Structures are given as C-alpha cells and as structure tokens.
C-alpha cells in the first residue's frame, strides 16, 4: 500500500462562514436519505464551492441523524490517479481488510443495516487520469451504489476543452472530422461524464455533433422549459419507444390535465422534439413519439424524474397482465 494513503483521513469540517446555500444543502441531504437514491453528483468549475456544499451536507443534522458517527466516509481522490490507487484509498477510508473486495465488503456490511455515506471528493483526478478506459472505475461505483444502505455524494470539476475533445473522439472515433464537436463541448460545459455520454450516444446512433447539439438545445430551450406540461409529456414519451396515441395518454399521464395536452404537444412539435404519425390501422389517430436521439438523451442524462419512471413502470405492470406491452403503447 502506498505510504501516503496508509492511514485513514478524517472528514474536514465545513467552512465556518457558509451562507446562502441552505436550501441546496437540504435538498441534497433529503436525496441521500432515500433508500434507493442514485448517486448524487455535483459538477462545476474549481472554486465555486462544491466541496463546501458537500461538507455542509455531510454535517447537516438530517445526515448526521441518518448516518451514524463513523459511517460518513471521506474519500479524497486527489491522489487516486489509477484504479488501483482509488481502491487503496477506498480500502483505507472504508476500513476494508486488504484481502477483501469492495463487493464482498458491501455485501457483508449490508447485513448490519447501518447506513453509510461515501463522499468522493475531487473525483476528476481518477476519471481524467484513465483517459477513456473507465469501465473498472464504473464497476467500483456500481458495486457501491447497488447497495441500498450506501449513499454516494461525488464532486467533480470539468476538464479543459482539449481533454474533452480527446474523450469525445476516443469514445466516438467517427467524430474526428466533425467541426461542430467543439461547439457541442462548450454547451456541455466540458463535464467528463456528460461528454462521454454524448459521444457514446452519437456513436451508437450514428448521430453527428450537430444533431446532438440540436437535441440538447431543443430540450433546454426556453420554449420547452417554460411549459411544465410539455416537460412532463416529453419525459413520458421518452420512455415509450413506439409512442402512444392521444387517447391513451390518459393512461400514461394521469396527472397531465387533458385540456393542457394540445398545448404541450404544440410546444414539443415547435421545438422539433415530437412527431405525429398518422396510421390507418389506428383509425386515423395520431401516434405521438419522440425522435430516438432525444429519447436516448433524456433517458441517459438523468432528465426523467425517478417518480415518473416508477409511475410508468407501475402502469405497465398493472396493464401487462391482460395486454401485450407493444399493443398497449399504441
């Protein structure tokens, strides 16, 4: 084991002067207390206060009550320039025996039912040092995240544009001569996770950077964001690859006011996010669906709320006993 990480490090105290972000701290704390919450990640430029917010969250009354003393784990990743070093730091901070594995320890500790909060600080050191070979790190995070008693809070700053460009081209080799990639990276803020995600979407769907950029800008446009019903409808249709009819929207969107559906459809159509397909075998009823690229973007960028996903799954589960899913979509 490396001498510099041979002993456990205590979590620092939050700054003595900390004002104006109480609502954000409370919101993150509540997310981390949900039993099956996804890892919470804070991205942003250096110096904007990510670490301060993370420490304030970890030391908030809600978190301290939910995660007992000794179960709030500080994992400084600034020295973790490889997967092996990241594992060493995790072993030390989580007090895992050297002959154990992260998965074995997670399974063993899960029997105690003690809640653990793992705060991965300056995670960009590990992520950027590995170039585009991230599978091992992703596996480590997945092994931790799949344990319902383990919550993860992660902070990360963006890479520079040249590094982001290399990430994008490595993930999507077909993009090397695409002149729009740099503009797309600026819109994405050069965030490594997001850059790798969009490059992967482009590679899988054979989409150009211009098409990816159009999808991003359309979803985030003022036209869409000012219409909460359009946002809800976009999330619903992004989970229905074959689309659905206007008539069946009442099943998939019980919380969407019927009188608001036409304006939501019009908004998404104007933003070029939604297509209406006339099909004769459905009695001339329009089938509404979101273009595949936007579906993938919505599904993989965390833009569909968990409660909406659970609602859709519940509706499908209830209906699946009497109707094939492909039929019910339409």
Over 90: is that where the pLDDT of 56 sits?
A: yes
CB 252 within 8 A of CB 315: yes
Over 60: is that where the pLDDT of 103 sits?
A: no
- What is the value of pTM for the model shown? 0.53
Q: Higher pLDDT residue, 324 or 109? A: 109
Over 60: is that where the pLDDT of 111 sits?
A: no
At residue 275, the pLDDT reads 81
Place of tokens 């784990």: 73
Say if residue 145 is exposed, middle or buried (CB neighbours under 10 Å; 0-12, 13-18, 19+). Answer: middle
Question: Taking residues 70-83, what's their average pLDDT?
Answer: 86
Say if residue 277 is exposed, middle or buried (CB neighbours under 10 Å; 0-12, 13-18, 19+). Answer: exposed
Q: Higher pLDDT residue, 105 or 84? A: 84
Average pLDDT of the chain, as a whole number: 79
Question: Taking residues 296-309, what's their average pLDDT?
Answer: 77
Question: Taking residues 142-160, what's their average pLDDT?
Answer: 84
At residue 328, the pLDDT reads 36
Domains of the chain: 21-100+114-156 (3.40.50.300), 161-210 (no CATH), 222-320 (1.10.10.10)
At residue 14, the pLDDT reads 86
Place of tokens 């995660």: 67
Question: Taking residues 230-246, what's their average pLDDT?
Answer: 86
Q: Report H helices in 189-253.
A: 192-205, 209-219, 222-225, 228-238, 249-252
At residue 57, the pLDDT reads 94
Per-residue tokens: 75: 């994992």
Lowest mean pLDDT among 10-19, 92-101, 106-115: 106-115
Place of tokens 């804070």: 42
Q: Tell me the per-residue pLDDT of 160-178, one tens digit each, with 9 for 90 and over.
A: 788 889 889 988 999 999 9
Alpha-carbon distance of 69 to 80, in angstroms, equals: 25
Place of tokens 């229905």: 240
Over 80: is that where the pLDDT of 289 sits?
A: yes
Model confidence band, residue 55 (pLDDT cutoffs 50, 70, 90):
very high
Over 50: is that where the pLDDT of 117 sits?
A: yes
CB 187 within 8 A of CB 297: no
Q: Which helix (H) or strand (E) holds 290?
A: strand 286-290
Residue 92's CB is within 10 A of a number of other CB atoms, namely: 18
Over 60: is that where the pLDDT of 309 sits?
A: yes
Q: Tell me the per-residue pLDDT of 242-288, one tens digit each, with 9 for 90 and over.
A: 788 888 887 787 777 778 888 888 888 888 788 877 654 444 467 88
At residue 59, the pLDDT reads 93
Place of tokens 């579906």: 295
Per-residue tokens: 215: 């999808």
The answer for residues whose C-beta is within 8 angstroms of residue 327's C-beta and 6 or more apart is none
At residue 329, the pLDDT reads 37
DSSP SS3 for 154: strand
Over 50: is that where the pLDDT of 327 sits?
A: no
Model confidence band, residue 196 (pLDDT cutoffs 50, 70, 90):
confident
Per-residue tokens: 224: 């869409």
């Amino acid at each position: 084991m490396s001498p510099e990480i041979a002993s456990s490090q205590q979590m620092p105290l939050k700054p003595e002067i900390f004002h104006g972000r109480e609502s954000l701290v409370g919101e993150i704390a509540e997310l981390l207390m949900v039993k099956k919450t996804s890892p919470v990640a804070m991205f942003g430029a250096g110096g904007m206060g990510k670490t301060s917010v993370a420490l304030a969250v970890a030391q908030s009354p809600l978190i301290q009550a939910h995660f007992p003393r000794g179960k709030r784990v500080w994992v400084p990743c600034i020295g973790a320039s490889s997967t092996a070093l990241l594992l060493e730091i995790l072993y030390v901070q989580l007090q895992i025996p050297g002959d154990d594995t992260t998965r074995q320890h997670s399974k063993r500790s899960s029997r105690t039912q003690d809640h653990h909060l793992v705060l991965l600080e300056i995670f960009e050191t590990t992520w950027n040092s590995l170039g585009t070979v991230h599978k091992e790190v992703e596996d480590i995070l997945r092994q931790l995240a799949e344990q319902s008693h383990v919550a993860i809070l992660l902070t990360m700053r963006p890479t520079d544009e040249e590094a982001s460009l290399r990430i994008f081209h490595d993930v999507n080799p077909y993009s090397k001569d695409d002149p729009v990639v740099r503009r797309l990276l600026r819109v994405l803020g050069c965030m490594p996770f997001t850059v790798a995600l969009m490059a992967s979407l482009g590679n899988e769907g054979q989409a150009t950077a211009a098409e990816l950029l159009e999808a991003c800008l359309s979803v985030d446009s003022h036209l869409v964001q000012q219409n909460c019903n359009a946002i809800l409808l976009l999330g619903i249709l992004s989970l229905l690859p074959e689309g659905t009819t206007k008539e069946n929207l009442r099943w998939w969107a019980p919380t969407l006011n019927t009188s608001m559906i036409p304006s939501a459809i019009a908004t998404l159509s104007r933003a070029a996010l939604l297509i209406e397909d006339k099909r004769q075998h459905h009695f001339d009823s329009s089938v509404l669906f979101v273009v595949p690229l936007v579906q993938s973007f919505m599904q993989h960028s965390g833009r569909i709320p968990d409660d909406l996903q659970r609602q859709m799954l519940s509706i499908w589960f209830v209906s699946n006993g009497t109707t094939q899913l492909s039929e019910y979509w339409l």
